[in-house]
Structure 1
């Protein structure tokens, strides 16, 4: 996860997929370390790295960072009325570096909440595994007789505690969310997440795509305290998308996300040690699905 040398910016942090930069010079009291504190703008750069099961895999997916950024920007534009962290470059005293222009977002720093806001509209993945055993998803009781991939009667909100880099996120109850952030913020996180999911699902459906589930991250605006949507939104890394025509014909595996990577890894790695390198064919198939999704949704 080597940082880029971006003129006018200092590297501050790297996650599994994204890198954060602050306007240079921004240093700590020692004088040589960039910090996320007390800065008015951040540069979020999406890399081509791909992660699965809390591991960053090799190699990356060519063009993935640009595609994720384009899709996030498109979705932010669709979600009018939902405050987000984007800052228009024309209103900021900084510029986007040319070398990352297609995969960078200029954003305002937020005081992020330690909650990953997951919304599930369909029974799939870990939710299906729990349902088969207990008839619940994240402790929420569901009707009997559902099958893998079925649409839920109503979307459900299943938050997770956002663990530090390298650790596993932990599913938590709504009550635990209240303990973490207070009742008002917990309710706002839930209600806003469900609202965005419902709106996005309608948009996707009109374009022949099923939005099965997704996750959001929110923070408080540092000036007003307002709940603000941050990070990426409704990308093929943070969401599970299916082809609607294939789904209606019974094929519930035609996914537009990194499920191809997950499936290959599950079949070729026992979860111990360093994951194996992804074959070229898996990389290309995944890249093709990322490209197809953005074409389907945006028409570009």
Structure 2
């Protein structure tokens, strides 16, 4: 069965780069008058994390074995660490969902599937940076600031920032690039009250997660969150994958403190291995198909995902 193929009782409604979404087929069959987005019809959505991998906005081959299951397990683990933060998990089922008599989750995808309440998602990626690296480092070199927020002079790549920075992005429509925006722009997009709550909640979760990671010998350099409004209560709710290798940058704390080179100091537990290999072996020509990833690059990437999961979730 392909990830976006048929699953008994479920209808595939959307595929992103690395996740496929399904809604209960009976809801579509019972209401043939619906139009538009079926996610607005269904109170639940089955999110299936695939093993697909992307870089530089292109899908790559082959997939990273076990990636979807590892990201799903890590997201659920983080939800457990943040019990007071409302999240999109559908369980335990409320009376309305019990009445739906939802179909079973197919065993073939059970380790990478999450049954979620559908939310009215905010069009903002809530990025929090604790360290100067990646795109933030590039912007700092050019402007001395990140997202219009001025930083002290003389910072180096990988330095810890004076305090976590909230640098949001606008989630562009499918097929377009997300765009870094100012906090003031988020106020225009979602209103002052929601924008303020998103910023405060993002920084709070980041700081709590960073402390947990530190206790496991890890540095949480940066991450991004996505939130939506609960359709019944309006409560701001944490959604999508959370604090995973695909949404966050983690470093080994001991290596960060002692390594001789930036490459070793900031070796991250994610697909940076893939990005580095592509940068050396592909000119990112949009008209060309990206090269096939070598077996050793795939295995090394899977090992980094696995290492982070084990480091964080070990009892």
Regarding TM over 0.5, the answer is yes
C-alpha distance in structure 1 between counterparts of 2:93 and 2:186, whole Å: 37
Superposed CA deviations along residues 71-121 of structure 1, whole A, max 9, x for unmatched, are 000001101211000011666432322111000001000000000000000
| Cα distance, 1:224–1:247 mapped onto 2, change above 3 Å | same
Superposed CA deviations along residues 133-156 of structure 1, whole A, max 9, x for unmatched, are 211112110011110000101000
Equivalent residue in structure 2 for 1:108, among 110, 113, 117:
117
| Cα distance, 1:127–1:99 mapped onto 2, change above 3 Å | same
C-alpha distance in structure 2 between counterparts of 1:244 and 1:111, whole Å: 37
CA contact (8 A) 1:218 1:227 kept: yes
Q: How many residues are aligned here?
A: 300
1:59 positional shift: 1.0
Superposed CA deviations along residues 252-275 of structure 1, whole A, max 9, x for unmatched, are 232101111111111222221232
Equivalent residue in structure 1 for 2:273, among 236, 260, 265:
260
C-alpha distance in structure 1 between counterparts of 2:164 and 2:154, whole Å: 17
C-alpha distance in structure 1 between counterparts of 2:171 and 2:82, whole Å: 24
* Counterpart residue number, 2:84: 81
* Counterpart residue number, 2:159: 150
* Counterpart residue number, 1:287: 302
CA contact (8 A) 2:119 2:231 kept: yes
Alignment pair present for 1:174 and 2:183? yes
C-alpha distance in structure 1 between counterparts of 2:224 and 2:37, whole Å: 29
TM-score normalised to structure 1 length = 0.95
Partner SS, residue 207 of structure 1: coil
| Cα distance, 1:237–1:79 mapped onto 2, change above 3 Å | same
Partner SS, residue 39 of structure 2: coil
* Counterpart residue number, 1:125: 134
Alignment pair present for 1:164 and 2:179? no
Query: Which sits farther off after the overlay, 248-257 or 226-235?
Result: 248-257
C-alpha distance in structure 2 between counterparts of 1:201 and 1:89, whole Å: 28
Alignment pair present for 1:141 and 2:154? no
C-alpha distance in structure 1 between counterparts of 2:137 and 2:187, whole Å: 26
1:3 positional shift: 1.2
C-alpha distance in structure 2 between counterparts of 1:240 and 1:7, whole Å: 37
Partner SS, residue 256 of structure 2: helix
* Counterpart residue number, 1:184: 193
Q: What are structure 1's unaligned runs of at least 5 residues?
A: none
CA contact (8 A) 1:55 1:166 kept: no
C-alpha distance in structure 2 between counterparts of 1:230 and 1:32, whole Å: 25
Equivalent residue in structure 2 for 1:270, among 283, 287, 302:
283
C-alpha distance in structure 2 between counterparts of 1:191 and 1:271, whole Å: 37
Query: Which sits farther off after the overlay, 30-39 or 219-228?
Result: 30-39
CA contact (8 A) 2:269 2:304 kept: yes
C-alpha distance in structure 1 between counterparts of 2:267 and 2:282, whole Å: 22
Equivalent residue in structure 2 for 1:56, among 51, 54, 59:
59
CA contact (8 A) 1:22 1:34 kept: no
| Cα distance, 1:225–1:34 mapped onto 2, change above 3 Å | closer
1:164 positional shift: 2.2
* Counterpart residue number, 1:296: 311
Q: How does 1:91-106 map onto structure 2 within 5 Å? A: 92=98, 93-94=101-102, 95-106=104-115
CA contact (8 A) 1:121 1:155 kept: yes
Partner SS, residue 111 of structure 1: strand
* Counterpart residue number, 1:229: 238
